[in-house]
Amino acid sequence: MEHLIDIQSISKQNIEDIIYLAKSFKEGKQESSVKSKTLALMFCENSTRTRCSFEIAGQKLGMNIINFDDAHSSLSKGESLKDTIENLYFIGVNAVVIRHSLSGIINNVLRLVNYPIKFVNGGDGTHAHPSQALLDYYTMLEKMGTVENKKITIVGDVSHSRVAKSNIALLSKFNADIHLCAPTYLQFENFEAFNVKYHNDIKEAIEGANVVMVLRVQNERHEQEGYPESSEYKRLYEIDTDLLKKYADKNVILMHPGPANRNIEVSSELLDNRVGKTILEQAQNGVYVRMAILNTLLKGGNHAS
């Protein structure tokens, strides 16, 4: 595994190795192989969990961390992302985590960069968010032991969701029973191409579900594109305690990549009770999974500049 750009590009064995290493880090059984290496966090789009998680992961591994501010960098002067990254490499950066609003930009830059810096996709447009899918999978394994034949229902704004796409790609590799639920205006345009079952009705979608993964309603995109108001979404699709108790599996796991819109896609009372705690555990597990990702990519060789 040379880079982590999307889930489709890595094997089941890569995934299993990362999960095993993350568990070892969490249990204190694994030491860092990448101390003193340098990580640049290049977040050109807002982030709390992913950015802080990668920063803490790097610190726990003993890495040097550069928080790259694109608004005050030479990118704002017109420098290309390729030239910026190649300069970072020669300054001494070993790996770069990139978040960007443009889908596919990391693949494009990777093809242009001529030096062996490691790339990690921290989320690009509506394309992919591989580290989120990996930490979600880790959390599911902690709770259930396996995802094989488990009903996993992803509810919400799937049309814009890189999290949904990456989770579908990963869970499909491990034979999960994947269901999507969204109003017509928020579904994938070509959802038939994905290995999923699609529902308009929320009760049908979560019937017997082992996992309900709720996605954020991306209001900033809806305002631009003229979607119905969020009150209409809330009326038909909000997840609350009563809905889960009545329809989902009695041991259902509630997940959300964050940030959550309280009382729109998921109720506040559900977020704040025992079932909602899993969402905080996802964030905690993200640190160990990202430690495993960085350690895996960077453990061999030294900086070659």
SS (H, E, C) 120-181: EEEEECCCECHHHHHHHHHHHHHHHCCCCCCEEEEECCHHHCHHHHHHHHHHHHCCCEEEEE
Tally of CB atoms within 10 A around 262: 13
Considering only CA atoms, which of 77, 102, 20, 78 is closest in space to residue 289? 20
- pLDDT of 199 over the 80 cut: yes
The more confidently predicted of residues 41 and 188 is 41
Q: Which of 218, 213, 244 is nearest to 123 (CA)?
A: 218
Global confidence as pTM: 0.93
> 260-264 contacts: CB < 8 A, separation 24 or more?
260/214, 260/216, 261/216, 261/217, 261/219, 261/230, 263/234, 263/238, 264/217, 264/230, 264/233, 264/234, 264/238
Contact 68, 40 (CB under 8 A): yes
Phi, psi of 42 (to 5 degrees): -110, 85
Q: Is 141 exposed, middle or buried (0-12, 13-18, 19+ CB in 10 A)?
A: middle
Higher pLDDT, 171 or 79: 171
Share of the chain above pLDDT 90, in %: 77
Q: What is the mean pLDDT of residues 283-305?
A: 84
Q: How far does CA 279 lie from the centroid of its chain? A: 13
Look at residue 258 and give its three-state secondary structure.
coil
Length of the chain: 305
Confidence band of 301 (pLDDT split at 50, 70, 90): very low
For residue 254 the two structure tokens come to 């509630």
- Consecutive H or E run containing 85: helix 81-91
Query: For residue 141, what are its two tokens?
Result: 């394994």
Position 223 confidence tier, pLDDT thresholds 50, 70, 90: low
Asked, as a colleague might, if the bond just before 259 is cis with ω within 30 of 0, I would say: yes
Burial (CB < 10 A; 0-12, 13-18, 19+), residue 155, is buried
Give percent of the chain above pLDDT 70. Answer: 90
